Amino acid sequence: MSKTKAPDSSRRSERSRRAIYDAALALVGEAGYAKTTIEGIAARAGVGKQTIYRWWPSKAAVLLEAFLDLAERASEGESEIPDTGDLEADLKLVLRATVDELNSPAYDGPARALAAESVVNPELAAQFVEKLLEPQLQLYVRRLRAAQDTGGVRVGIELRTALELFTGPLTHRWLLRTLPLTHDYADAIVEYALYGLAPRS
Amino acid sequence: MSKTKAPDSSRRSERSRRAIYDAALALVGEAGYAKTTIEGIAARAGVGKQTIYRWWPSKAAVLLEAFLDLAERASEGESEIPDTGDLEADLKLVLRATVDELNSPAYDGPARALAAESVVNPELAAQFVEKLLEPQLQLYVRRLRAAQDTGGVRVGIELRTALELFTGPLTHRWLLRTLPLTHDYADAIVEYALYGLAPRS
Q: What residues have CB less than 8 Å from B139, skipping those under 6 apart?
A: B79, B80, B81
- Between the two ends of chain A, the Cα-to-Cα distance in Å is 45
For residue A4, is it within any domain? no
A44 and A101 in a common domain: no
A58/A93 same-domain check:
no
| CATH code: domain of residue B187 | 1.10.357.10
The secondary structure of B2-45 as a DSSP string is --PPPS---HHHHHHHHHHHHHHHHHHHHH-TTT--HHHHHHHH
B113 to chain A, any CB pair closer than 8 A? The answer is yes
A71 occurs within a structural domain: no
Partner B contacted by A84 (CB < 8 A): no
**Do B165 and B89 fall within a single domain?**
yes
For residue B189, give every residue at least 6 positions away whose Cβ sits within 8 Å of its Cβ, in sequence order, or none. A161, A164, A165, B95, B165, B166, B169, B170
Q: Within this chain, do residues A88 and A158 fall inside the same structural domain, yes or no?
A: yes
B29 alpha-carbon distance from chain centroid: 15
**B57-99 tens-digit pLDDT:** 989 889 999 988 888 887 766 679 999 999 999 999 999 999 9
Mutate to test the interface with B, among A127, A165, A167, A190 (most CBs of B within 10 A): A165
State the total domains in chain A.
2
Q: For residue A196, give the chain B residue with the closest CA.
A: B196
Q: What is the pLDDT of residue B11?
A: 74
CB within 8 Å: A176 and B171: yes
Each residue's pLDDT tens digit, A73-88 = 877 666 799 999 999 9
Tell whether A90 is within 8 A of chain B (Cβ).
no
**Interchain CB distance below 8 Å, B175 and A144:** no
Tell me if chain B has a CB within 8 Å of the CB of A89. Answer: no
A18 shares its domain with A116: no
| B51 & B128 share domain | no
Q: Are residues B56 and B91 in the same domain?
A: no
**Which chain B residues have a beta carbon less than 8 Å from that of A177?**
118, 122, 125-126, 129
| Cα separation, B153 vs B150, whole angstroms | 8
Look at residue B127 and tell me if it is in a domain.
Answer: yes
A50 in a domain, yes or no?
yes
Question: B113: which chain A residues are within 8 Å (Cβ-Cβ)?
Answer: 120
pLDDT recorded at residue A5 = 53
Residue-level pLDDT at A44: 96
Query: In this structure, which amino acid lies at residue A123?
Result: E
In percent, the amount of chain B with pLDDT more than 70 equals 94
* Whether B177 and A129 lie within 8 Å, measured CB to CB: yes
Q: Which residues of B touch A182 (CB under 8 A)?
A: none
State whether A99 and A181 are in the same domain. Answer: yes
Question: What long-range pairs does B120-124 form, CB within 8 A, spacing at least 24?
Answer: B120/A32, B120/A112, B120/A113, B120/A116, B121/B33, B122/A177, B123/B60, B124/B33, B124/B60
Q: What is the tally of helices (H) and strands (E) in chain A? A: 11, 0
For residue A40, the number of C-alpha atoms closer than 13 Å in the C-beta half-sphere is: 16
Q: How far is A127 from chain B (nearest CA, A)?
A: 11
Length of chain B: 201
B201 in any annotated domain: no
In a domain, B68, yes or no: no
Helix axes B183-195 and A183-195, enclosed angle (nearest 10):
100
B117 and B23, same domain (yes or no): no
> How far, in Å, CA of A156 to CA of A163, rounded?
14
What is the separation of C-alpha B81 from the centre of its chain, rounded to a whole number of angstroms? 14
Chain B residue with Cα closest to A199 = B154
pLDDT at residue number B102: 93
Within a domain: A57: yes
Output the pLDDT for position A70.
Answer: 85
A151-156 contacts, C-beta under 8 A, 24 or more apart: A151/B199, A152/A87, A152/B198, A152/B199, A153/A87, A153/B197, A153/B198, A153/B199, A154/B197, A154/B198, A154/B199, A154/B200
Residues 6+ apart with CB under 8 A from A79: A72, A139
d(CA B46, CA B39): 10
Q: What is the pLDDT along chain A (201 residues), one digit of tens a residue?
A: 445 555 555 777 889 999 999 999 999 999 989 899 999 999 999 999 999 999 998 898 899 999 888 888 877 666 799 999 999 999 999 999 999 999 998 889 999 999 999 999 999 999 999 989 999 999 999 999 999 999 999 999 999 999 999 999 999 999 999 999 999 999 999 999 999 999 987
Q: Report how far residue A144's alpha carbon sits from residue B100's, in angstroms, rounded to the nearest whole number.
A: 29
Give the 3-state secondary structure of residue A74: helix
Q: Which segments of chain B have a pLDDT < 70?
A: 1-9, 76-78
- CB proximity B134 to A under 8 Å: yes
CATH number assigned to the domain comprising residue A47: 1.10.10.60
Residue A74: inside a domain, yes or no?
no
Which of A119, A154, A167, A170 to mutate to probe the B interface, most B CBs <10 Å?
A: A119
Same domain, A131 and A166: yes
Q: Are residues A187 and A115 in the same domain?
A: yes
- For residues B118 and B159, membership in a common domain is answered with yes
Domain containing A147 equals: 80-195
Beta carbon pairs, A and B, within 8 Å: 173
Predicted pLDDT at A1: 46
CA-based nearest residue to B42, from B60, B61, B21: B21
Between chains, do A172 and B173 touch, taking CB under 8 Å as contact?
no
